[in-house]
């Protein structure tokens, strides 16, 4: 990156901070939680919508659960392809279009593998790393899906600073459920699956960051046969072979989500995605999240 580019980005960041503080400084989210203390032992038997940020997240966090749910659907928020094309080239593709198609086909292959090729999958098609910019659009689509079918649970990511799209997806799910409840409609209970986050300077895969108000962790152990099947599911994601091998296979973990303050950092110190040398950092993400909450009418008056 050139010195001129660095200076331009720094100047933009300072301007953005000043504008945000003037318009939204001190305002808080109106989103409140519900049912955070609930035990989830009945999760596999209830209608549940799985909302994942990227193709493969649904399998990493809830692959075995998907094979057991009889009444479910999947929403995949992004196409898994950052606009700069770096990820596509690193995975051996000539461009983003081929990469997007491959990632979509990998999810289809997973569902076919477990005999669920007819499972409804809604792909919102947002570019990887840009979900926070499109939160109102994501919320609108989630509300449509939740109104069309009554789900008991909605399984999604925790707010942990692992990936900006994970955090944006979590925010969108919480916002959609809150707006449904505020409108007097029935809304599913937000449930979290494990993703990844940074803790003590190292990346944690397949475990939760402790969060005040979260429900008890419900662990579903996987026997040898289920572990083998999940391994085969993950092997379908050939384009993501460098990351899917990092996740444990012995169990899947879920908890009822707490009421997050998405305008505060998920934990002190460096966030995982701040180590990836992307353009997005936590402060910038939170400013974009605040603007999205304002557009949705979810910021309390100062």
CA 187 remoteness from chain centre: 18
pLDDT value for 1:
56
In three-state secondary structure terms, 144 is: helix
What are φ and ψ of residue 253, in 5° steps? -125, 140
pLDDT value for 83:
95
How far apart CA 199 and CA 45 sit, in angstroms, is 33
pLDDT value for 22:
86
The architecture (CATH level 2) of 37-295 comes to 3-Layer(aba) Sandwich (3.40)
Q: What ranges in the chain are assigned the alpha helix state H?
A: 3-24, 57-68, 86-90, 96-113, 135-148, 164-182, 224-235, 241-244, 282-295
What are φ and ψ of residue 153, in 5° steps? -130, 155
pLDDT value for 278:
86
In angstroms, the Cα distances linking 254 to 2, 54, 142, 193, 241 are 44, 18, 21, 5, 24
How far apart CA 222 and CA 244 sit, in angstroms, is 17
In three-state secondary structure terms, 46 is: coil
Cα atoms in the Cβ-side hemisphere of radius 13 Å centred on 242: 5
Query: pLDDT per position in the chain (302 positions), as tens?
Result: 577 766 777 887 888 888 888 888 889 999 998 877 788 999 999 999 999 999 999 999 999 999 999 999 999 999 999 999 999 999 999 999 999 999 999 999 999 999 999 999 999 999 999 999 999 999 999 999 999 999 999 999 999 999 999 999 999 999 999 999 999 999 999 999 999 999 999 999 999 999 999 999 999 999 999 999 999 999 999 999 989 999 999 999 999 999 999 999 999 999 999 999 888 999 999 999 999 999 999 999 87
- Give the residue among 14, 20, 40 at the shortest CA–CA distance from 190: 40
CB count within 10 Å of CB 26 equals 8
Tokens of 116: 């669920």
Sequence length of the chain is 302
Query: How is the chain split into domains, by residue range?
Result: 37-295
How far apart CA 132 and CA 31 sit, in angstroms, is 16
CA 102 remoteness from chain centre: 20
- Whether 253 contacts 207, CB under 8 Å: yes
For residue 193, list its beta bridge partners. Answer: 254
pLDDT value for 136:
98
Tokens of 277: 């040398």
CB within 8 A of 68, min separation 6: which ones? 44
- Whether 156 contacts 170, CB under 8 Å: yes
How far apart CA 294 and CA 302 sit, in angstroms, is 12
Question: In the block, which residue shows the tokens 């570019």?
Answer: 127
In three-state secondary structure terms, 51 is: strand
């Amino acid at each position: 990156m050139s010195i001129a580019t660095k200076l331009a980005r720094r100047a933009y960041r300072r301007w953005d901070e000043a504008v945000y503080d003037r318009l939204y400084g001190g305002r808080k989210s109106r989103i409140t939680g519900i049912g955070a203390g609930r035990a989830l032992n009945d999760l596999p038997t209830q209608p549940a919508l799985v909302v994942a940020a990227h193709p493969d997240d649904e399998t990493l966090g809830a692959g075995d659960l998907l094979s057991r749910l009889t009444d479910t659907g999947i929403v995949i928020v992004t196409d898994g392809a950052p606009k700069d094309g770096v990820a596509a080239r690193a995975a051996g593709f000539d461009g983003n279009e081929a990469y997007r198609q491959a990632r979509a086909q990998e999810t289809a292959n997973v569902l076919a593998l477990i005999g669920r090729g007819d499972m409804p999958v809604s792909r919102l098609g947002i570019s990887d790393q840009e979900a926070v910019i499109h939160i109102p659009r994501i919320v609108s689509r989630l509300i449509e899906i939740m109104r069309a079918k009554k789900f008991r649970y909605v399984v999604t990511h925790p707010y942990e600073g692992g990936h900006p799209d994970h955090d944006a997806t979590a925010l969108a799910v919480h916002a959609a459920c809150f707006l449904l409840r505020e409108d007097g409609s029935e809304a599913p209970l937000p449930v979290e699956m494990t993703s990844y986050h940074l803790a003590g300077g190292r990346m944690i895969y397949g475990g939760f960051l402790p969060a005040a108000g979260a429900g008890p962790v419900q662990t579903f152990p996987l026997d040898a046969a289920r572990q083998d099947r999940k391994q085969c599911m993950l092997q379908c994601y050939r384009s993501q072979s460098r990351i899917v091998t990092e996740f444990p296979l012995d169990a899947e973990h879920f908890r009822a989500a707490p009421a997050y303050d998405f305008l505060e950092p998920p934990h002190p110190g460096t966030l995982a995605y701040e180590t990836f040398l992307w353009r997005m950092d936590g402060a910038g993400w939170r400013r974009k999240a605040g603007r999205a909450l304002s557009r949705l009418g979810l910021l309390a008056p100062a």
